[in-house]
Each structure stands twice: as structure tokens, then as C-alpha cells.
Copies of this chain bind each other. A is one copy, B any other.
């Protein structure tokens, strides 16, 4: 049988259990040109929350009754498509279910090499690692000696983004939501400083850790933090807008940053980006990230939650911030 988690309702504010419907469907059979994939791991990403609103953005919205869209890794079990062979590991939008049907026309999945652990293709070599790579290097473009601030720095994207800036020779300050996470990003990942945004005065802490101002801000959270950074930017500052997780569950958009006007006298640039635009260059990023991991310059963390049924809870945890690194669901787990 094929357990599926479907969208039961577009969330009103924070995601709730009642927004999901757990159903059991027959295992689908592949037609000519298709393959049957047993799903192994699901990538739990903040972007899913946006898709759940139902509006079409850079990808179609998820509608009530749809299987929840999610990137993930699976194994080809049966194939009527020459692109896929049984035993192949594939990466793509497999959805929150035990089994998926894939084809090559939509390029819905790609075969990945048998790296161990396979989950690295959902974290450091996955969308989050590649997001950090292009967001930092292509959009923010940090130069040696510059002051870089990363919010959500203990998350899957922020932790990699900050380390890339360190590799580029920058001073890096990260924000995170617990002392343990702050200790992790400084002691294990090599950030120069960390700010616990839940216990510290964020503005004062930014002034203390960035006494000469901020050249680059890699923003994963939006909200007040963005405003406080804008107040402290240097000339020619770059702000890469990766996400605004502080607002994803807002029922009404909160006001924007008062200090946005600072972009004028400081000649600042603020730019949003979507990692899917970089698909043709994913291999470039993965190879470089792999080299840094092999050289011990880049570390990453994964937290694996066992069992498809726990995917909704894992998504909720993204917004309470009680995880470190990449949140992944093991489909077949307990």
C-alpha cells in the first residue's frame, strides 16, 4: 500500500495537524516511460509552507487534496523508462508518500551517485547546500575581510552559507535561537561570533560583533532582524534575501523594515533569489561543496526523523527552531 499525506486545508497561520490528511492508496503501477520509486528520505524545507498557501509562485501552489510536495530521495524499484534502472537512487519532488511514479519528460527526478550517506543529497549537496552556495557566492559576493552576517545560522542553509563566507576570508557572525546552537556555529563551524536572538538585545549584539558595520547579510529570517541589519550596513552592502521564515506563518504581512531607505545613501543592493534558477549549475556547486567537505573545511548537520507520519510535525519544528542543521524524514522509519 501507499501511505500518502495530502493537504487537507490551506493553513491559517501556523501549520496545524488538521491541515493534513493521512490516506492509504494502492501502490501505483508505472506506465510506459515511467518508473516506480520507493521513497526513502524527505527534505523538510521552509518553502513547503509557502506552497501550502495554494498560490502559484515560482512553482505551482499545493491544492487541497494534493499529495504534499517535497523534495526527497528514493530508489527505483521497477522501470519502464531507459533513464532509470532498478536500484538507482533518484532525487526530486517525490512527495510525502511511500511510493512515487516518475518520468523523464518532466525531469521530476535525477539519478544521483551512490554517496554515503544518501541524505547528504538533501542537505549539504542538496537544495539547502546549493542555496547557500549560490546565494552567498553569486548574490552576496563577499570579499576577503568583509563583515558578513547570517541569520538562521544553525539551519541547513545558514550553517553552510556562513562557512562559505569563512572560506572566502570574511569575518562571520551568525544568529541562532539557543546557546547550544550558538556554541555549535562558533566552536564547530568556525563562525567568529554568534548571537542568541532569543535572549540577547539583537541590535546591541550586532553593534558589538560588527563594530565597523555590515558588508554582507545573508537573510533567512526577514522581519526585525533585517531592519536592524539595514541600520548598520556599510557602503555597497549586499543583502541576499534567501527566506523570511519569521513571516511564513503570518496571517497578514507585517510592515517592512523602516531602515530600507538606508539603501540609498549606502548604495546598498538587496536581491532575492530562488535556487531552482541555478539548476543548470547544480553540479558546479555540488563538486565544490564536496571538495570542501572532503578537505574538512565545511561541516554539516542532519537531524533525521523516523517515519512518514511525522513529516507534518517535522515541518512545524522548522518554525519553532528547535532543530540544528537539516531536518529530514526517513519515510520507512518507525
Instruction: Tell me, yes or no, whether A265 is within 8 Å of chain B by CB.
Output: yes
Q: How far is the CB of A155 from chain B (nearest CB, A)?
A: 16
Number of A residues with CB within 8 Å of any CB on chain B: 33
A162–B243 Cα distance when bound, in Å, is: 33
The answer to whether A272 and B277 have CB atoms under 8 Å apart is no
Instruction: Tell me, yes or no, whether A310 is within 8 Å of chain B by CB.
Output: no
A262–B270 Cα distance when bound, in Å, is: 12
Instruction: Tell me, yes or no, whether A211 is within 8 Å of chain B by CB.
Output: no
Instruction: Tell me, yes or no, whether A76 is within 8 Å of chain B by CB.
Output: no
Instruction: Tell me, yes or no, whether A254 is within 8 Å of chain B by CB.
Output: yes
A272 / chain B contacts, CB cutoff of 8 Å: 262-269
Q: Which of B255, B259, B265 contacts A258 (CB 8 A)?
A: B255
Instruction: Tell me, yes or no, whether A271 is within 8 Å of chain B by CB.
Output: yes
Instruction: Tell me, yes or no, whether A261 is within 8 Å of chain B by CB.
Output: yes
The answer to whether B277 and A273 have CB atoms under 8 Å apart is no
Task: Using CB atoms, name the residue of chain B closest to A248.
Answer: B261
A265 / chain B contacts, CB cutoff of 8 Å: 50, 57-58, 272, 274
Interface readout for A243-286 with B: 1 if CB under 8 Å, 0 if not? Answer: 11001000001111111111111111111111001000000000
A243 / chain B contacts, CB cutoff of 8 Å: 264
A273–B274 Cα distance when bound, in Å, is: 25
Instruction: Tell me, yes or no, whether A142 is within 8 Å of chain B by CB.
Output: no
A209–B242 Cα distance when bound, in Å, is: 31
Q: How far is the CB of A297 from chain B (nearest CB, A)?
A: 29
Q: How far is the CB of A334 from chain B (nearest CB, A)?
A: 36
The answer to whether B267 and A274 have CB atoms under 8 Å apart is yes
The answer to whether A264 and B274 have CB atoms under 8 Å apart is yes
Q: Which of B58, B268, B271 contacts A263 (CB 8 A)?
A: B271
Q: How far is the CB of A62 from chain B (nearest CB, A)?
A: 15
A272–B261 Cα distance when bound, in Å, is: 8
Task: Using CB atoms, name the residue of chain B closest to A256.
Answer: B256
The answer to whether B227 and A261 have CB atoms under 8 Å apart is no
Which residues of chain A from 271 to 324 have a CB within 8 Å of any chain B CB?
A: 271-274, 277
A58 / chain B contacts, CB cutoff of 8 Å: 265
Q: How far is the CB of A119 from chain B (nearest CB, A)?
A: 26
A254–B242 Cα distance when bound, in Å, is: 25
Which residues of chain A from 212 to 249 have a CB within 8 Å of any chain B CB?
A: 222, 227, 241-244, 247
Q: Which of A243, A264, A268 has the most CB of B within 10 A?
A: A264
The answer to whether A255 and B255 have CB atoms under 8 Å apart is yes
A328–B242 Cα distance when bound, in Å, is: 44
A117–B241 Cα distance when bound, in Å, is: 46
| 9 CB < 8 A contacts A-B | A58-B265, A241-B263, A244-B264, A253-B259, A255-B258, A256-B257, A263-B271, A264-B274, A267-B274
The 8 closest A-B pairs by CB, nearest first: A256-B256, A255-B255, A263-B272, A264-B272, A253-B258, A256-B260, A57-B265, A256-B257
Chain A residues proximal to chain B, CB less than 8 Å = 50, 57-58, 222, 227, 241-244, 247, 253-274, 277
